Amino acid sequence: MRVRVAAIQMSSVPDRDANLAAAAVHIRAAAEVGSRFVSLPENFSYLGRPEDKKQIAEDLDRSPSLDFLREQARRHEIHLIGGSIPLKTSDPERVSNSCFAIGPAGDVLARYDKLHLFDVSIDRENTHRESDHVVPGNSVVTFSAEGLTVGLTICYDVRFPELYRRIASEGADVVFVPAAFTVPTGRAHWEVLLRARAIENLCYVVAPAQVGEHVPGRTTYGHSMIVDPWGNVKAEETNGPGVIWADLDISEIASARARLPVLEHRRADLFPS
C-alpha cells in the first residue's frame, strides 16, 4: 500500500487572516498532487512575539483556525494535520500549543498538546522560555486513518526519543513533527534528529517547518523534510514557503522491521514504556 503525504513550509506572521490565506493556497497545491495526508507547520496560524500569544489565543468552541482546518479538510477530502494553534486554557497567562488531526469529513480525529516546552539558552540571541507562555500537554497521541497508525508530536519533542519509542510501541507507521526550529539549532540538529527518530523506530517521519523572519529577531530554519524508515530523506524544501510530498510505501516499514528488528529486541524489562 502506498499513501502520498505532503508537508507544507510556511513563513507565518502575526496576522492570522494572512496566514490562513497562505495556508489555503498550499493545502490546495498539496491536494492537487494527490496527497491523502497534508501537514502544516507549528504556529501556522500565528507566529509573532511569544508574549502576545495570550491575546490571540482562541476558544476551542469558537476557533477560527480550527474551523479553517475542518473546512479545508472537507473541501479537499484529505486528512489534515493542523500544525499547531494557540488555545485558551484555565491559566489566563498561558495557552496550549495544540495540533489537531482532521478527517476528510471535517471531523476531529485527534488533538495533541505539545509535551516538551522549549526552555533553552543557546546564546544571548537565542534564549527562549516557552513555558512562560504555554501550558504543556500530558498525553501521548496516536490515531488510525487510511490503514495507518499515525503519531503526533511538535517541534522540540523531537529531542526526546522516549516519546517516539512510546509512539512506535503503539504501532505508529508515520509520525508528524510540525515545527518552528530556530536557525542555530536547525543547522546543527534538525536533519540528524529527524533521521534518528525514523531509524530508531523504523517508521516514516514527516516534518513541516516554518522558515524565514516572522518578526524582528525571530527567524526559523525551514528545511521541511520527509524521512523513510531506513533514514533516507525522501523530500526536502530548502528554499522558502512551499510544498513537498512523497509516497509512503507501507511495505517498507515491514521490510525494515524484519531486517532490523530493534523493536522486538528492546529490553522492556529494563526500559519499560
Please give the positions annotated as active site: 42, 114, 155
- Phi-psi category of 271—alpha, beta or left, where left has phi over 0 and alpha has psi -120 to 50? beta
Q: Specify burial of residue 240 (Cβ count, 10 A radius: 0-12, 13-18, 19+).
A: exposed
Report the 10 Å Cβ neighbour count for 196.
18
Contact 126, 182 (CB under 8 A): yes
Amino acid letter, 159:
R
In order, the DSSP letters of 12-72 are: --S-HHHHHHHHHHHHHHHHHTT-SEEEPPTTTT--S-GGGHHHH-BBTTB-HHHHHHHHH
- What's the number of CA atoms in the CB half-sphere (13 Å) around residue 176? 34
List the grid coordinates of 48.
509573532
Q: Measured at the alpha carbon of residue 268, what is the angle toward residues 264 and 273, in degrees to the nearest 5?
A: 110
Which residues, other chains included, contact 265 with Cβ-Cβ below 8 Å and sequence gap of 6+?
Answer: none
